[in-house]
């Protein structure tokens, strides 16, 4: 069985541009993509910390070192420059893949430089299997 789990996250990134006239997507600085493992065309969920809006889109590669976090297309109507957003990417994983995966989390500064890099540890798979067994009772 495959389960959708967190692959990586950019926490509190600052929107640098919002362009409703541009073809959809989110443009992210290529250096940030490399730092967390995101790729062009990956599907992401974005949460706006100012207004609570949540939306999905796909990734475009931005100029390396630019700090760009650009919300494009219709989603740009849900954000404005200066908004802080959380960008989440999920992956389908088996239990074995999950047990070995440590999602990369980039905590961002206001200028979209990386303040801190974290990794989340997976819950031990045996506990997850035990929970599933108990939940069936």
* Predicted pLDDT at 123: 82
Annotated active-site residue in 7, 25, 120, 131:
25
Contacts for 120 with CB less than 8 Å, ≥ 6 apart: 6, 102, 103, 105
User: Distance between CA 66 and CA 48 in Å, rounded?
Assistant: 21
User: Distance between CA 46 and CA 123 in Å, rounded?
Assistant: 24
58 part of the active site: yes
Q: Which CATH architecture has domain 3-135?
A: Beta Barrel (2.40)
* Predicted pLDDT at 135: 56
Query: What pLDDT, in 10s, does the model give residues 20-61?
Result: 999 879 999 999 999 999 999 999 999 999 999 999 999 999
* Predicted pLDDT at 130: 56
pTM of the complete model: 0.88
Q: Is 48 helix (H, G, I), strand (E, B) or coil?
A: strand
Give just the sign of the alpha carbon dihedral 59, 60, 63, 69: negative
Would you list the domain boundaries of the chain? 3-135
* Partners of 30 in beta bridges: none
Measured CA to CA in angstroms, residue 123 lies from 36, 88, 104, 109, 120 at distances of 20, 19, 15, 28, 9
* Predicted pLDDT at 69: 98
* Predicted pLDDT at 122: 85
* Predicted pLDDT at 52: 97
66 part of the active site: no
Annotated active-site residue in 7, 58, 66, 133:
58
Query: What pLDDT, in 10s, does the model give residues 105-133?
Result: 999 999 999 999 999 988 875 655 555 55
């Amino acid at each position: 069985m495959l389960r959708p789990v967190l692959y990586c996250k950019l926490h509190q990134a600052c929107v640098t541009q919002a362009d409703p006239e541009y073809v959809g997507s989110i443009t992210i600085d290529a250096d940030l993509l490399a730092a967390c493992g995101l790729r062009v065309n990956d599907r992401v969920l974005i949460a706006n910390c100012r207004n609570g809006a949540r939306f999905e889109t796909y990734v475009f590669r931005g100029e390396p070192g630019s700090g760009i976090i650009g919300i494009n297309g219709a989603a740009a109507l849900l954000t404005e420059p200066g908004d802080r957003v959380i960008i989440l990417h999920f992956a389908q994983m088996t239990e074995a893949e999950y047990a070995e995966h440590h999602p990369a989390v980039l905590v961002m500064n206001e200028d979209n430089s990386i303040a801190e890099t974290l990794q989340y540890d997976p819950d031990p798979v045996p506990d997850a299997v035990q929970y599933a067994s108990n939940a069936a009772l």
